[in-house]
Structure 1
């Protein structure tokens, strides 16, 4: 997957595999983790724009992942635009450490 235009089939396959590893993840949450892992998007606005999803829904998912210990770390927030920058947490890294076939 390239940072500019991820292959939709590869992206969706990775999201599905991640949800199998952690059934508690929604498709949106798994998509955020895959996007961060594959360096497709590391902030809420970029993810929202690339996947044509309302920013408010993405922010809700980012905040939910940040509250689940170790999945996502919020690095900074822009108070004006609400753009939230994030990185994978240790627990998410473990999810990706398994072979993603």
Structure 2
């Protein structure tokens, strides 16, 4: 192989794997709505956050709060740990959770 062929192979290989790296990164940057939606659909059951009506009940009684849902999203690998330190993000998830309960009433 000459230098040009080797360089071209490297460019092709790098380009082929770039979408995989980007996809992994995007799973770490969910919106508060997406986090709440995943919780509602039961995506965080394994982390102790129930879905659907049980989630709504837990929110209404105060047994489940925004930080719990965010921690479950982090534990599932869908959200970066920095989200828990972002007070605006936590507040937005809290508002989304409240909207779930208000919508059900």
Q: TM-score, normalised by structure 1?
A: 0.28
Q: Which structure dedicates a bigger proportion of its chain to strand?
A: 1
Q: TM-score, normalised by structure 2?
A: 0.27
Q: Which structure dedicates a bigger proportion of its chain to helix?
A: 2
Greater relative contact order (Cα < 8 A, sep 6+): 2
